[in-house]
Each structure stands twice: as structure tokens, then as C-alpha cells.
A and B are shown apart, each in its own frame.
Chain A
Amino acid sequence: MRYLNKEDVKNIATGASLFGAGGGGDPYVGMMMAISAIEKNGPVKLLSLDEIDNDDIYMPAASMGAPLVMTEKFPKGDEFTRAFNRLGKYLGKPITGTFPMEAGGVNSMIPIVVAAQAGIPLVDCDGMGRAFPELQMTTFHLGGVSATPMVVTDEKGNLSILETVTDKWSELLARDQVVEMGASASVSLYPSTGQQMKKNGIRGIISRCEKVGEIVKNHTKGKDWQLNQLLDLTKGFHLFDGKIVDISRETRDGFNYGEMTIQGLNDYKDQQMVIEFQNENLIAKRNDEIVTSVPDLICLADMDNLLPSTTESIKYGKRITVLGLPADKKWRTPKGIETVGPRYFGYDFDYKTIESINEEVEV
């Protein structure tokens, strides 16, 4: 057990932008909420998975809706306290604490806010180890945990509890309510027991985010040291250095599709990399060979200072370093690959782990 303060939160936000793998949104507003909540209520208690009881119930917390609306109208601050109380009564057992379902982007921050406001512990795990665009793309879904009962609530005090037959129905019904609540609302789903979390959660992800932030912040030791530390921590691969020479984007069905072309620099001079994305980066091709694909992470960072970049901030001329990080092994099962592998996103090839591709190349 330990406590997270404001500085820790800033580091976690940096790590969350990296693990967002190009998507997940800018954690800025979430980070501001977390800082505000800690200033008011004090540091947040962080528990490891080994420290929680098997029978206790924990509830993830997230924001749902239009990202632009979230930059203008943010929550009151007691939404989740209310949601957790109501759900506790509904389940007949109080909610002990919270955790993020998504380690990347804005939703990595919301559970920290909730933990501070409600004075409950935060658990060091998540259900993705990264960011993904759809509600069923979680390791809890793989393990057979239902997304419902799900709570949708707003700052005015409106609240609903959804029980649905499939996770797709949760998405549809919740989306409608969120619109009526002002196109942005607080949601909580995948209520889980300690035992389910130990089985399905991705361990230590918050601490890993924090370490990434600490490494990126530490300019004094130089970029080579920082890069090596990052690769050691994540067991990742340095895939490319280069300059963006082309970027195309298209918005379809609420998702951002596109691809970027990177011209090599430094050790990668005269080489080229293409990255295709749908909110998150999906595949990376170096000189036409696939070097990483989902569910492994393709992460972008500023070449000079290693600050992580989302695909939204990519523009011509930006110099970036591309890192490939192995996905958690739960994603590398047949059901995991079926849920978030290349074929699910419309590609006609089989998933190969980043280690098998890149270690071969290096030999």
C-alpha cells in the first residue's frame, strides 16, 4: 500500500499517454480533476492486487461522451460517490474501491478522482493495459465478467442502472442516456470481485504508468538512458526514429481512421515506416514489412524529449520515436486475438508477437 500525490498523478498521466498507443485522448482534463480532488481531499491510497480481499467488490469508473463537451462541462465531483452507493445497495454489498478499466488516455485518471473524492482505495490494475476503442475490448470480458450492472449518472443527480443481455446493448442504451445528460456523463461498469480482478486484471499498470512518467521527466541523464529505461521497463522494442512526411485522417462512425508515413532519421536513414490507426495505432510497417500489430502496442513519442504523442497531435514535420511494446499475455490467447487481433480490425493476416518478429530480425 502507498499513497499517490499530485506529482505522482502527473507522472501517471504521462505514462497513460504512452500506453494510450496513439489513442485514448489527452488526459489533461482528467489530470486536472485528479489534482483538484487531491488538493481538496488529500493523497489517494493505492493497493496492489495482493492486498485486496477476494470477496470485496470493486467498480471501475470512466467518462463517456463527446470529448469536446468534456473540455467545457466537467462533473460536479460527487457523481461516483452516488453511483457507488446506489450500486452497492443494488448488489446488496458495499463497493470497496475502484480501478481503471483503461490505462491509456483520459479514463486512466477518472478512478484517481473517484478514489480521492470518495475516500476509497484505488487498485493497481486495469482491464486493457493500454487503450482500446470499444466497451467489450477488456480482459474482464475475456474472462467472462459481464459489463453490467452498469451505472450512468450526471452532475444533476440523474442516475440509471442498466442490466443488458449483451455488452453491445449496454453500449447502445448507455449512449442514448449520455446524450440526454448533455453528451457527457459519468459511467461505471464491469463491477468485479477481488477474485475476478486477480484473475483478469492487468497487474501493476498504474505503477508502470508512473514509472514511465518518472523516466520521461528525467532529462538530466540524456535521451539514450531514458530510452533504455523505458524499453527495460516495458520489455519493448525501439522500432523507428523519423519525421512525419504524410498524415491522412477520416472520421467514420465516431472513430478516427488514418495512416501516417514516417521518413527515417538517425539509424533509420533511408528507411520508411507506415502506421495505420483507428483511434489507437493498429499496425506498423517498416519498409513494407509488418513489425508490430494489435494487440501489441505501437507508441509514439517526441524524438527530442520522449513526451508521448497522440495521433491527434501528429502533423507534418514532427520528429518522433516509435516504440513497440508487447501486449499483456491475456490478449495473446485465441479469444484475445479474436477480440482485438488484426482480423477483428479488418486486416487479412494472422497476429505474430512483436518478440517473434523483431528478435528474428535482429539475429
Chain B
Amino acid sequence: MKYRLGIDVGGTNTDAVILDESLNVIESTKSHTTPDIETGIYNSMKTVIDHSGIDPNMITHAMLGTTQCTNAIVERKNLAKVGIIRLGYPASVSILPYTAWPEDMVKVLSGKYSILHGGAEYNGNPISDFDGNELRQLLKDWRGQVESIAIVGVFSSIKPEQENEAAAIIKEEYGEDFPVSLSSTIGSIGLIERENATILNAALHNVIQRTANGFAQSLIHEGVKNAKTYLCQNDGTLMSIDYARHYPILTIGSGPTNSIRGASYLADSKNAVVLDIGGTTADLGVLVNGFPRESSIAVDVGGIRTNFRMPDIISIGLGGGSIVTEDDNGDITIGPESVGYQIEEKSLVFGGKTMTTTDIAVRLGKSDVGEYQNVAGISLAFAQRVEDKIQEIIENAIDQMKTSSDDVDLILVGGGAIIAPKQLQGVKTIIQHPQGSVANAIGASIAQVSGDFEKLYSYEKVQREDALNDARSFAEDQAVAAGANVSTLELVDVNETPLAYAPGKTTKVRIKVVGELN
């Protein structure tokens, strides 16, 4: 028998599961997320392997969804000194790199940048000619002062060659191993947001090495010696650990995506709304053809605006540990304050003094955790009013995620799922699964591998069919590089957007392919 190990780091808990070849869950565990994250990963890994009783050598795949990169950005820790090279002079100078960034972050990254000749127009024509000597001179000035370089070309999604050319020169000057991040491989059209994501990617170089090495060493320590290792991306797919070493930014936001994907697998449903209720907050996402719907608006990471693909998630301050209070007028407040992971000390059913949503669920007979006696004194009418309010909060949130007024299926997962009402307006069926509390770790272990490519084509110059095939082959190359088996690749998304006010039937084509693990 062969096995998969999946680990997912959340704000409160780090979950781990072991799945067999048929993807049945044979063991699962939860442990507290530790401040350093690494220790929590190791604890969960050790517990789940020990309890399962399997031979660790039979684990063939190990997947990790982690928040180490997110935390490094939020806490400004272990980040590399970045040099930013923008290609596009004389265009684009009116908005300099780092505009509107938090000042402390710019300081940590050293604030070095230069705008050089190069870049392309929307139709691929040069803005100005790229000059290798200009770059070499800059590298001479920067020698010893930067640890990682971000290259950002104007319209590089149309002409990526120039970024590659610049990268080759940097490798010549600074050595083959010097980390270089190329914007054309990281983000889509929208220079500011793509540049920001590329800078963050470059800054995370040391963090991702440490994450990847730590994971690999923990596995070996636990006797897992034959596993291929992967990190989870925010679009619900995996990247091999060697690929991930170049694209740390793609690990940001993988948590909610993993629980949506895990929920989809457990419920055997590809189109539904997923409600993941944790200890302090509940996340809502939408499954479209088995993948999370992506956000259409710019996403802030640690106060920095980016445009890379993130799942469209709304978070509400409602969880199993949310504190319930009533004021003098009889108005009920639920959350956002929560007892969090201290629920087993602080809530009434566990002998504490704080009334939580879990206490209400037990009073109403929806759950039998803890001591019912401790909550028997809560009046049924009051409990019912709290339940009505929870129902209203959840119904409103579901309604915001819908795209039409039709009823939807709802998959309910997460450790706090017991607080949800049994029926909800606007919902056809509520689907729950006994393993729902570790849906995120399951999502990590069942994930596939994807490739995503975007480019502008002029349909007057290139036949539409040829353009789509061209984009598809780039997307497939990317998927294979990330660890996909080429024979299983499948087209999952084609997106064509004609450009307003642009000539030549210019169209933005975006293609996404997905395949099984190699």
C-alpha cells in the first residue's frame, strides 16, 4: 500500500492527514499552530504518522500548505534585500517602484531600484531598445548590496524574452545561483500590482529555502524517505518543492483554497458554496468546476497591492469560539471576539466562564461536546435568538457569494461547523462529511498540478485558433515544469477579453491547464 501525507497550516490549528491510494482518509490530527510554524508542522506530522501505524517509507507523496511566506511578509522577517530592475524607460517613470508601500517594508528590502531602457508596447513593438551594457553598469554599482533581483518589463506578458535576456546577464555577472524573479512568470497585466508581487517573490527567497529545507528534513527525521514533496499554491494546485523554491509568492493564500478543494472532494461536488467555520472566523468560497472561484479585485498582502490570482473568499467574524453577549437592551452580539484555541478552557461546556457559540449549539442539542449540565441554565428562548442571529449572518454571507438568486448547494466544513443551523435560506442542500474538520489538509493531499498563461494577441494578425493553441502550449510547459504528468493535462479554463479602445482585435487570452501528479 502507498500513502499520501497532507499538512495544512491554519491560523489556529495545523492539520495533518494520511490518505491511502484510493484517497481514503486513514488518519487525521490537529495540533496548535506554533509561533514559528515549523514546530507545529513537525508536531502534526509526527502525530499523524505515529497514530496511523503505517511504514513511513510507504508514503510516496507529501504536501504542505503553509503560511510561512505570508507571516514573513506581515512580520517583515528574514526578507532578502531586493534590487528592482524595471525595463521600459522612458515610459512608466511617473510611478516609481515602491509607491504607496509601507515605509518599514521598503527599508527592510533596501529600496534599491532602477528604470532601464526596454519594454514593449501593447502590440509587441519596442518602447526603446534594451541595452545590456546599461544593465551591466547597474550590476557593478549594486554588487554586494542586493541579495535577490526582481525584473519587471512593461508588457512583458507579451514579450517575455527581454526579461529572460536580462536574467541571463545577471547570472553572468553575479553567478548562476543568484536568485532572479521575472514578472512575466508571476503576474498578469497591470504593472504596479505585478511589480509588487515580483518584488515580494524576490524578497521571500531565503524564507522559501528555509521552508523547503525544513519540510524535507522533518520528513527524513520521521522516516519518510521515498516521498516526492510539494507545496500548495493559492489556486488549489501543487508545485514540486524545487519549482516552489523559485515562486514562493504563489504559496500565499493557499489555506482557504485547500479547504474548498478538500470540501469538494469529500462532498463529491464540483459546484457549490463552501463554508469553512473555524474557531474565530468563517471563510466562504465558491467552487466552480472543482476549483475555487478567483477574486476579480486587487488583493492586498501585508499592506501591498498585488494582482496575482487569489481565491474569492469572504471572511466573517463567526466561529465555534465566538463570544456571545447580551446588553441591557437585550441586543445580542456574536463575535468577532473569540476564545480561539482556548475553547477547551474558557467556554461554558468545558467548565469555563465565557459563553460561546459552541455552548449555544450544545444547549440546542446540536452537539454533545463537553458537559450539557453547564449550559442547561441558558433559556431556550435566548439560545434560539442566538441561533436566529447566526442563521442571519450566515445567510447574508452566502447571498453575497452567489452570482444569481438561484438556490445553491452548501458544503459545510471546519472544526466549528457544529454551530451552523440545519436549514438556510437560499440553500438547496447542506452537505456535511465526518472528515469535514480536516478538509484543508485533505485538500492539500489531493491537489493536482496546473499551468497558467496569459498574453495579448491581435486576432487580425494571428488566427484565433493558433493563438489559443500557442497560449495552451505555454500553459502546458508551465504545468510540466511544476510537476504534472504530461499525458493527464486537461484544459480547465479559457478566458478571452477583447480590449476596449485598442485596434487590431487585440484580445487578452488566458489559459489554464491541470494535470495529475507525476
Contacts and interface: CB of A to CB of B under 8 A. Distances in A.
A199 interface: no
Given A71-B190, A155-B90, A182 B99 contact: no
Nearest to A39: B99
Contact of B405 (A39, A69, A245, A319): A245
Given A183-B501, A313-B297, A316-B402, A68 B94 contact: no
Nearest to B158: A72
B502 A251 contact: no
Contact of A66 (B93, B403, B500): B500
A68 B121 CA distance: 12
A29 B192 contact: yes
B122 A76 contact: no
Interface in B180-219: 189-192
A67 B99 CA distance: 20
Contacts of A235: none
Contact of B122 (A73, A256, A315): A73
Contact of A74 (B91, B399, B500, B502): B91
A29 B121 CA distance: 18
A315 B399 CA distance: 12
Nearest to A312: B296
A231 interface: no
A68 B189 contact: yes
Interface in B399-438: 399-405
A69 B127 CA distance: 13
A183 B503 contact: yes
A317 B399 contact: yes
A67 B501 contact: yes
A33 B191 CA distance: 13
Interface residues of A, number: 39
B192 A32 contact: yes
A318 interface: yes
Interface in A155-177: 155-157
B26 interface: no
Contacts of B94: 33, 36-37, 74-77, 113, 117
A130 interface: no
Interface string A74-85: 111100000000
Contacts of A256: 500
B351 to A, nearest CB: 38
A17 B502 CA distance: 24
Interface in A6-21: none
Contacts of B89: 76
A254 B92 CA distance: 25
Contact of B502 (A32, A75, A183): A183
A73 B126 CA distance: 12
Contacts of A245: 405
Given A182-B121, A183-B501, A75 B192 contact: no
A64 to B, nearest CB: 9
A357 interface: no
A28 B36 CA distance: 36
Contact of A35 (B100, B121, B499): B100
B253 to A, nearest CB: 20
Given A71-B191, A74-B94, 18 more contacts: A40-B96, A68-B499, A73-B122, A74-B91, A76-B90, A155-B127, A179-B503, A182-B122, A182-B125, A183-B121, A183-B122, A183-B503, A256-B500, A316-B402, A316-B403, A316-B404, A317-B402, A318-B400
Interface of A: 29, 32-33, 35-37, 39-40, 65-69, 71-77, 113, 117, 155-157, 179, 182-183, 243, 245, 251, 254, 256, 313, 315-319
25 contacts: A32-B100, A40-B96, A68-B500, A68-B508, A69-B122, A71-B190, A72-B190, A73-B88, A73-B154, A73-B191, A74-B92, A74-B191, A76-B92, A76-B93, A76-B94, A113-B94, A155-B90, A182-B122, A182-B125, A183-B501, A243-B399, A256-B500, A315-B403, A317-B400, A317-B401
